[in-house]
A and B are shown apart, each in its own frame.
Chain A
């Protein structure tokens, strides 16, 4: 599956199979040739003749290079960036050299293009085009980051939705009021889920959302799910990425609490430490480590979102710990920089 990360606009080495890239290269190199003709020509009238003369040399070279680069594109994309760039520049310089030699052999050139100048011109043109594509990729990357953010933002498991609806249906006849509250909470939950994921949210909202989510889980699991909240000295208006904790809670319930017949306690700690906000989430787990691919995916997902929001300033650390009295627990610790809510 092609992900948005590998789009041709995003990669610093352009994919030369792309028609857009080819067109831009053709136009760019011809623009350079036109500029060179302007410099070489005696006057404005001479410009067209000079350009045609230069074209006889530039066009075949350009087409040849594009053909080779298009064929070699998969190889180039798999190479490290520096090597790929050197390869493109080297190819342009070398082919310029050979073509100048061939032209001279056929006697087509007046001999005023020296080998050194030909190679330099080819190499320079290639380097300029690469620089242009790199700048263009950088200009596009915020859009890509945004798209990635949208893709990464938590989606609630269908398992949770259907089980919650089923639980509400089970309550309607015996406890209509509780069923009402539960449906209201479910509606509220989905309102938050459909919010724009690109904005940071006040921590107080995120905590309220977590409480609502856990209330719904409690509806199904009853006494099996116990939650131990510890929110200490945390400024309520700190901005955090939206829905950062919900996927972790969902995993803690799904992989931690549900497989235990007698249930367990979920520990949630929020504390301020110097200039950062520490969040700790601990859940008990069945002693046998079970394949929880979903769990690792959620954690990798949140780690990437933290990177997009905070770059290197945020940390996420997750591990399974064996307890001295037997059994084990799963801990997720997050540290994010304290940052005022942006206006």
Chain B
């Protein structure tokens, strides 16, 4: 990055007056630290759409937002090939702030002051090592709304609600939706932990969405025991259920019916 060029900035906040305030302040700060607001977004999803379109140097991110919150946005950004610098902007959230300090994550407090903003711009220009996903994951209160993957240099988002099942292969985990499958760069164990409410393990390498299981059918017999298969909505092929998982899967399916 050339120091003479203006830093391109993306503002992400769901409140219009808060975006206006940051825009005004960035305009004031440009005398000291050249910058240009190239886009604004009202939530994490819209921000990722902007980031897919154009090169951005710095993203100012509000934490509490609908559709996709700031922490999840930062997690997806951290997976990008050339991630922009991320600075969180938050009104008041003592628990998150402590964690930010602990992990040396940069943040601004609302209402933002000009001097702090200039300092953040300087820092973003000097170094932009993204915060590791593992650290961000520990800050996220709930589960993610989307998983992300790379395809031909582009970041693709997979809404978690659309995923019917997750399958671990030799090297990668694939997420299967009704339409297609995506190759993820995450471990099945971690996904199982994060989405324990949504997914249930069918066997060693498959997690199925609980609400997608519509029926069970009998497969072949191995060692005198029936091998059961789970039928998932929109998925033509039934998935085998291991003998060890069968009681759990059956109980979960019965609970879901009641």
| Chain A contact residues, CB within 8 Å of chain B | 157-159, 161-163, 165-171, 173-174, 219-222, 224, 258-261, 290
Q: Chain A contacts of B66 at CB under 8 A?
A: 258-261
The minimal Cβ–Cβ distance linking B235 to chain A, given in whole angstroms, is 23
Q: Known interface pairs A170-B18, A171-B17. Does A258 touch B91 (Cβ–Cβ under 8 Å)?
A: no
Q: Chain A contacts of B64 at CB under 8 A?
A: 258
A162 & B16 in contact (Cβ 8 Å cutoff) = no
Q: Chain A contacts of B109 at CB under 8 A?
A: 162
The minimal Cβ–Cβ distance linking B116 to chain A, given in whole angstroms, is 13
Give the residue name and chain of the B residue nearest to A286 (CB): B66
A166 & B67 in contact (Cβ 8 Å cutoff) = no
The one of B17, B42, B93 in contact with A166, judged by C-beta atoms closer than 8 angstroms, is B17
Residue with the greatest number of chain A CB neighbours at <10 A, chosen from B14, B67, B142 = B14
Give the residue name and chain of the A residue nearest to B110 (CB): A166
Digit string of B17-29 for contact with A (CB within 8 Å is 1, else 0)?
Answer: 1111100100000
The minimal Cβ–Cβ distance linking A245 to chain B, given in whole angstroms, is 23
Q: Mind listing 27 A-B residue pairs with CB under 8 Å? A: A158-B91, A159-B91, A159-B92, A161-B92, A162-B110, A163-B15, A166-B21, A166-B110, A166-B112, A167-B17, A167-B21, A169-B17, A169-B21, A170-B17, A170-B19, A170-B21, A170-B24, A171-B17, A174-B20, A219-B17, A220-B15, A220-B18, A221-B15, A258-B66, A261-B14, A261-B42, A261-B66
Q: Chain B contacts of A168 at CB under 8 A?
A: 17
Q: Known interface pairs A261-B66, A261-B67, A290-B142. Does A166 touch B24 (Cβ–Cβ under 8 Å)?
A: no
The minimal Cβ–Cβ distance linking A161 to chain B, given in whole angstroms, is 8
Q: Which residues 31-62 of B sit at the A interface, judged by CB distance below 8 A?
A: 42-43
Q: Known interface pairs A261-B43, A261-B67. Does A165 touch B17 (Cβ–Cβ under 8 Å)?
A: no
Q: Chain A contacts of B110 at CB under 8 A?
A: 162-163, 165-166
Q: Chain B contacts of A221 at CB under 8 A?
A: 15
B24 & A220 in contact (Cβ 8 Å cutoff) = no
The minimal Cβ–Cβ distance linking B26 to chain A, given in whole angstroms, is 12
The minimal Cβ–Cβ distance linking A293 to chain B, given in whole angstroms, is 11
Give the residue name and chain of the B residue nearest to A173 (CB): B24
Digit string of B79-121 for contact with A (CB within 8 Å is 1, else 0)?
Answer: 0000000000001110000000000000001111000000000
The count of residues in chain B whose C-beta lies closer than 8 Å to any C-beta of chain A is 22
* Distance A161 CA – B19 CA, assembled complex (angstroms): 17
Give the residue name and chain of the A residue nearest to B43 (CB): A261
The minimal Cβ–Cβ distance linking B211 to chain A, given in whole angstroms, is 12
The one of A162, A167, A170 in contact with B92, judged by C-beta atoms closer than 8 angstroms, is A162
* Distance A169 CA – B110 CA, assembled complex (angstroms): 10
A158 & B15 in contact (Cβ 8 Å cutoff) = no
The minimal Cβ–Cβ distance linking A216 to chain B, given in whole angstroms, is 11
* Distance A290 CA – B141 CA, assembled complex (angstroms): 10
User: Knowing that A171-B17, A261-B67 are A-B contacts, what are 6 other residue pairs whose CB atoms are under 8 Å apart, sorted by A's residue number?
Assistant: A159-B92, A167-B18, A167-B21, A170-B16, A220-B18, A261-B43
Q: Chain B contacts of A220 at CB under 8 A?
A: 15, 17-18
* Distance A258 CA – B111 CA, assembled complex (angstroms): 19
A165 & B111 in contact (Cβ 8 Å cutoff) = yes
Q: Chain B contacts of A161 at CB under 8 A?
A: 92
A166 & B18 in contact (Cβ 8 Å cutoff) = yes
The one of A163, A170, A261 in contact with B20, judged by C-beta atoms closer than 8 angstroms, is A170
* Distance A169 CA – B92 CA, assembled complex (angstroms): 16
Q: Chain A contacts of B111 at CB under 8 A?
A: 162, 165-166, 169
* Distance A171 CA – B109 CA, assembled complex (angstroms): 18
* Distance A169 CA – B113 CA, assembled complex (angstroms): 11
Give the residue name and chain of the B residue nearest to A174 (CB): B20
Give the residue name and chain of the A residue nearest to B89 (CB): A166
* Distance A163 CA – B19 CA, assembled complex (angstroms): 12
Give the residue name and chain of the A residue nearest to B20 (CB): A170
Give the residue name and chain of the A residue nearest to B19 (CB): A170
B142 & A167 in contact (Cβ 8 Å cutoff) = no
Q: Chain B contacts of A171 at CB under 8 A?
A: 17, 20
Q: Known interface pairs A258-B64, A259-B66. Does A163 touch B91 (Cβ–Cβ under 8 Å)?
A: yes
Q: Chain A contacts of B42 at CB under 8 A?
A: 261
B91 & A162 in contact (Cβ 8 Å cutoff) = yes
Give the residue name and chain of the B residue nearest to A254 (CB): B64
* Distance A75 CA – B151 CA, assembled complex (angstroms): 67
Which 7 A-B residue pairs are closest in the complex by CB-CB distance? A170-B21, A170-B17, A167-B17, A162-B91, A170-B20, A261-B66, A261-B67
The minimal Cβ–Cβ distance linking B128 to chain A, given in whole angstroms, is 26
The minimal Cβ–Cβ distance linking A167 to chain B, given in whole angstroms, is 4
